[in-house]
Amino acid sequence: MRTVLILFVAVVMTLAARDGAGAQSFTSLQFSNATGSPVNAWLTLGADSKGKVEDAKLVDVSTGRNVPVSGSGLQGSFTLQANQTVSWNSFNGALATGAVTFRAPPQSCPISGGPCGVTKGEFAINIGNEAVDVSSVDGINAIMAMDLSEGGATPWPSNPGGGQVAQNSGTLTGDKTAWGVFPYRCTKCAAIGNAPDTKCNPLGPAMQSYCKAGTEHSPQPVVCQLNRTGAGGTVKFIFKGAMDPVKAP
Question: For 147, phi and psi rounded to 5 degrees?
Answer: -105, 120
The C-alpha atoms of residue 45 and residue 72 are separated, in whole angstroms, by 10
Question: What's the sign of the alpha-carbon dihedral 90, 157, 182, 168?
Answer: positive
| pLDDT reading at 203 higher than 80 | no
What are the tens digits of pLDDT across the range 87-135? Answer: 999 999 999 999 999 999 998 776 666 666 899 999 999 999 999 999 9
- What pTM does this model have? 0.87
Confidence category of residue 18, pLDDT binned at 50, 70, 90: very low
Q: Where are the domains of the chain?
A: 25-242
Specify the pLDDT at position 2.
39
What are the tens digits of pLDDT across the range 23-81? Answer: 689 999 999 999 999 999 999 999 999 999 999 999 999 999 999 999 999 999 999 99
Task: Name the 3-class secondary structure at 177.
Answer: helix
Name the percent of the chain lying above pLDDT 70: 80
- First CA to last CA distance, the chain: 82
Q: Which CATH architecture has domain 25-242?
A: Sandwich (2.60)
Q: Which of 102, 84, 98 is nearest to 49 (CA)?
A: 98
Q: Is the preceding omega at residue 105 within 30 degrees of 0, hence cis?
A: no
| pLDDT reading at 212 higher than 80 | yes
Q: Walk across the sheet containing 58-60 and list its strands.
A: 66-67, 58-60, 85-88, 28-33, 234-242, 142-150, 165-167
The C-alpha atoms of residue 76 and residue 42 are separated, in whole angstroms, by 6
Specify the pLDDT at position 247.
60
The C-alpha atoms of residue 75 and residue 216 are separated, in whole angstroms, by 30
Specify the pLDDT at position 172.
84
The C-alpha atoms of residue 126 and residue 76 are separated, in whole angstroms, by 21
The C-alpha atoms of residue 62 and residue 216 are separated, in whole angstroms, by 41
| pLDDT reading at 214 higher than 90 | yes
Quote the mean pLDDT of the chain: 87
Q: Which of 194, 208, 87, 216 is nearest to 137 (CA)?
A: 194
The C-alpha atoms of residue 107 and residue 116 are separated, in whole angstroms, by 9
The C-alpha atoms of residue 146 and residue 131 are separated, in whole angstroms, by 12
The C-alpha atoms of residue 18 and residue 246 are separated, in whole angstroms, by 55
Q: Are 98 and 115 in contact (CB under 8 A)?
A: no
Question: For 167, phi and psi rounded to 5 degrees?
Answer: -160, 135
Which distant-in-sequence residues (6+ apart) come within 8 Å of 39 by Cβ? 33, 79, 80, 102, 103, 239
The C-alpha atoms of residue 72 and residue 74 are separated, in whole angstroms, by 6
